Amino acid sequence: MNVPKRKPDLKDISECILFLGVFSVYALLSLQNAGPSLMFITKPVALVTVLFAIFVLFRFRLFPAKVYPELWLLGLYTVLACVPGFFCAVDPAMHKDIAVRLAEGFLLVTAVYALTGLTGSPKAVFWALFLTGFVFTVISLCGGLDYWRRYRQTIGNLNPNHFARVALFAVFAGIGLMNEYKGWRRLAFIPVTLFCVYMVITSGSRVALAALLIGCTLYIILSRQRADLKKFYRFFLPGCGILLLAAVGFFLIRQPYQLYSIWKRFLLLFNGDTASTRFSGIALAFRHFLSRPIFGIGAYQFGAISEGTLAKALTHCHFDTVELLMSFGLCGFAAYAGAGFYGGRGLKRIICLNGCESPKLGSLPIALAALFAAYIVLGIGDATIYEVNCQMVWGFLTCSGMLNRMNGPAV
């Protein structure tokens, strides 16, 4: 007997619209500097996505009933990051530009929050990260790869650090999704995931390489006791490792000087000039935080204060924690850290719930934990707090608080 197919209802349609919006905005933001400007497409798509997310929050009663402290604190952080700087910034024009970017980031986090609340799972968000990695793969294979400063591989004019971050996020999304499917569908994730790992390596981004190593290590530690992931360890993990070594070996045979270039960049971290500039920059940022500890000096002001002070002017201090304190003071930092605390507590809870015999969210919470471990490492040597697509990734952590309450008793 043929069972008639259920017609898609408003909730199904809303999931599709939100997913397409979040994916499109994330992909466009990730690629906008790789060639011709895509901002004329990004802005309207982002606006439609955010407006529809607000409709979803009210229509399906996610707001205010299921809006937990994570999102409120992230909104408070955005206000504290944007408003005080208008009165005290050294470079008001730069602060204004970044304030707009921070506000856009929070609105897009709201869209991610609505999508997660509607689906009850981070899977849709992982798909957005993974498909953007797939877009990177296609562009690379079609001849989009270029070299930044002669030896760091990237796409077009995209900064290699940004290039590496997007590839890195796709790696952990691929690992998480890979274990949600069986048979040939699982195998389909391997090529893109491995190629994204390959792109992280060839980008020459030192902090991204460290983040990749730490995130993968955490994933192995958290999942090795899971009975439903034993097959992954027995077959897929060794197989992926062999394929990755083969890909890196092929790369080094074709371009052996790249290994020397990457090694040389790691050694530069201990070079007197480079190390002194980095540490001097952190010390300078901390001194400016002490001069205005409550609300900070405004967003993206380090370039203005470092010019003529450091031997080499820097656009940021290469350490997100100190950058946060300097830019937004104790108030902004407390709101940001508070959102992270509630989100992290929720993430820990859903990982513990998934330790039972019938995991509700599969391996996705473990992949999410690995993703955020990598994200925190990225903030040690780069500036991620001003990037809108990185803010969207930060928003996934706030969704963990919602998932915690939707899938078990609140902590």
pLDDT over 70 percentage in the chain: 79
Tell me how far apart the terminal alpha carbons of the chain are, to the nearest angstrom: 46
**pLDDT band, residue 170 (cuts 50/70/90):** very high
Per-residue pLDDT at 130: 94
- The two counts, helices (H) then strands (E), for the chain are 18, 2
- Identify whether 199 is part of a domain: yes
pLDDT for 316 beyond 50: yes
pLDDT for 260 beyond 70: no
- Identify whether 5 is part of a domain: no
pLDDT for 356 beyond 60: no
- Total number of domains in the chain: 1
Tens digit of each residue's pLDDT (9 = 90 or more) over 32-88? 766 666 667 888 999 999 999 999 988 888 777 666 788 888 889 999 989 988 888
pLDDT over 90 percentage in the chain: 13
CA 348, 350, 356, 362 dihedral sign is negative
DSSP 269-291: TTSHHHHHHHHHHHHHHHHHHHH
Cα 29-174-31 angle, rounded to 5 deg: 15
Q: Which domain holds residue 59?
A: 11-406
- Identify whether 97 is part of a domain: yes
Q: Tell me which range, 48-62, 219-233, 340-354, 357-371, is most confidently predicted by mean pLDDT.
A: 48-62
Tokens read off for 313: 């002017």
- Identify whether 41 is part of a domain: yes
- Number of residues written out for the chain: 411
Query: Rounded mean pLDDT of 300-329?
Result: 80
- Please tell me the pTM assigned to this model: 0.87
Kindly report which listed range (49-53, 93-97, 345-349) carries the lowest average pLDDT score.
Answer: 345-349
Q: How far is CA 279 from CA 71, 282, 319, 322, 383, in A?
A: 33, 5, 10, 11, 15
Given a contact cutoff of 8 angstroms between Cβ atoms, the answer to whether 133 and 191 are in contact is no
Mean of the per-residue pLDDT values of the chain: 80
